[in-house]
Amino acid sequence: MTRMLIIGPPGSGKGTQAERISERLGVVAISTGDIFRANVKGETPLGIEAKKYMDAGDFVPDSVTNKMVRDRLSEDDVENGFLLDGYPRTTAQVEYLDEILAKTEEKLDVVLQLTADDEELVARLLGRAKETGRSDDNETVIRHRLDLYHEQTEAVVAKYAERGILTRVDGIGAIDEVTDRVLLAIEAAKAV
């Protein structure tokens, strides 16, 4: 049973690494960004609401995001643990997640932070924009998303560091190399 978070700036490869960790450890990976994108694609009310914020590179309001995560974490497939990718991103979301977990007396085992230099991230994301045409991958929006990460999500990281469950992994390098580092870091963190 492992309950984990993966946190990293946009473009750090957290989605890719989350999928790999999920396969190796047999825990379900839950990406709030993917859930939002699926809803945008399906033109659901949630997707129509979320799209406005996503296209501008803003956070979807906590009231919407928190409820979505609460519902997702009540599904059966999280019984063996979970890996949350992209949540929490604000300190208010940290508190909300604390409340969800407290209700079932659950605790997080590991919080993984993928690190990367801003200019490297901008270059990667501009490359991804050409390949995927993601509507939130243009330079102005990319820089705004990075600013939000520094302004809001680094405070989230600091909270978990204070709790002694944070592990930092260098996200620069070949995808396989980063996966090896990530898996080693998780093993080391769980052994403590």
Is residue 51 at the binding interface for ligand AMP, with CB under 6 A as the rule? Answer: no
What is the token pair recorded at 180? 């090896």
The interface mask with ligand AMP, positions 75-114, x = CB under 6 A, is: -----------xx-x---x---------------------
Half-sphere exposure of residue 72: CA atoms within 13 angstroms, side-chain side: 21
Is residue 171 at the binding interface for ligand AMP, with CB under 6 A as the rule? Answer: no
Catalytic residue (one of 70, 72, 128, 159): 128
Burial environment of residue 104 by CB neighbours within 10 A (0 to 12, 13 to 18, 19 or more): exposed
In the bound state with ligand AMP, the residue whose beta carbon lies nearer, of 59 and 82, is 59
Is residue 149 at the binding interface for ligand AMP, with CB under 6 A as the rule? Answer: no
Beta-strand runs (E) in the chain: 2-7, 28-31, 81-85, 110-115, 166-170
Is residue 65 at the binding interface for ligand AMP, with CB under 6 A as the rule? Answer: yes
Single residue of 8, 22, 59, 171 touching ligand AMP by CB under 6 A: 59
Largest Cα–Cα distance of the chain, in whole Å?
45
The minimum distance between CB 191 and ligand AMP, in angstroms, equals 29
Single residue of 10, 12, 68, 169 touching ligand AMP by CB under 6 A: 10
Catalytic residue (one of 3, 51, 124, 145): 145
Is residue 32 at the binding interface for ligand AMP, with CB under 6 A as the rule? Answer: yes
Which residue, among 16, 19, 33, has the nearest Cα to 149 in the 3D structure? 33
- The secondary structure of residue 78, as a DSSP letter, is G
Helices (H), the chain: 14-25, 32-41, 45-56, 62-73, 91-103, 118-132, 139-148, 154-162, 175-191
Task: Answer positive or negative: Cα dihedral of 136, 123, 120, 28.
Answer: positive
According to the annotation, is 145 in a ligand binding site?
A: yes
Residues annotated as catalytic are 14, 89, 128, 134, 145
Binding residues vs ligand AMP (CB under 6 A): 10, 32-33, 36, 53-54, 57-60, 65, 86-87, 89, 93, 136, 145
Annotated binding site for AMP: 32, 37, 58-60, 86-89, 93, 134, 145
